[in-house]
Homo-oligomer: A and B are copies of this chain.
Amino acid sequence: MNDATAFAPASVGNIGVGFDILGHTIAGPGDRVRARRIDGQEVRIAAIRGNATKLPMDAALNTAGAALIALRDALQLPFGFEIEIDKGIPFGSGMGGSAASAVAALVAANALLDTPLTRAALYPFAMTGEAVASGGRHGDNVGAMLLGGIVLSTADRLVRIAAPDAWHCILVHPEAVVETRHAREALKGAYALGDFVAQSANLALVLCGCHNGDADLVRAGLRDVLVEPRRAALIPGFAQVKQAALDRGSLGASISGAGPSVFAWFDSQAAADAAAAPMRSAFADAGIASESFVSPLNGPAAELVR
Chain B: which residue is nearest A20 at the CB level?
B197
List 9 A–B pairs whose Cβ atoms lie within 8 Å, in order of A's numbering.
A19-B193, A19-B197, A21-B197, A21-B201, A138-B197, A154-B204, A191-B193, A204-B207, A211-B211
Nearest B residue to A220 via CB reads B157
* Contact between chains at A200 and B21 (CB < 8 Å): yes
- B-contact 0/1 string along A1-17, CB 8 Å cutoff: 00000000000000000
Smallest Cβ distance from A236 to chain B, in angstroms?
Answer: 25
Once A157-B220, A207-B204, A217-B159 are accepted as A-B contacts, the answer to whether A196 and B152 lie under 8 Å apart by CB is no
> What 1/0 mask marks residues of chain A from 182 to 218 whose CB sits below 8 Å from any chain B CB?
0000010011110011111111110110010000010
Instruction: Give, as a whole number of angstroms, the nearest-CB distance from A262 to chain B.
Output: 22
A152 pairs with B201, CB closer than 8 A: yes
B154, B202, B204: which contacts A220 (Cβ < 8 A)?
B154
> Is A155 at the interface (CB under 8 A from chain B)?
yes
For residue A161, CB closer than 8 A to chain B, the reply is: yes
Q: A18: CB under 8 A from chain B?
A: yes
Q: With contacts A208-B159, A208-B161 known, is A193 near B203, CB below 8 A? A: no
CB pair B200 A18 closer than 8 Å: yes
Task: Establish whether residues B197 and A196, one from each chain, have CB atoms under 8 Å apart when the complex forms.
Answer: no
Note all chain B residues with C-beta closer than 8 A to A193. Answer: 19, 187, 191
Q: How far is the CA of A203 from the CA of B217 in the complex (A)?
A: 17
**How many Å lie between the Cα of A270 and that of B208 in the bound state?**
29
| Complex Cα gap A156–B205 (Å) | 11
A301 to chain B, nearest CB (A): 18
Q: Is there contact, CB below 8 Å, between A200 and B199?
A: yes
- A226 contacts partner chain B, Cβ-Cβ < 8 Å: yes
A156–B201 alpha-carbon span in the complex (Å)? 10
B191 with A226: CB separation less than 8 A? no
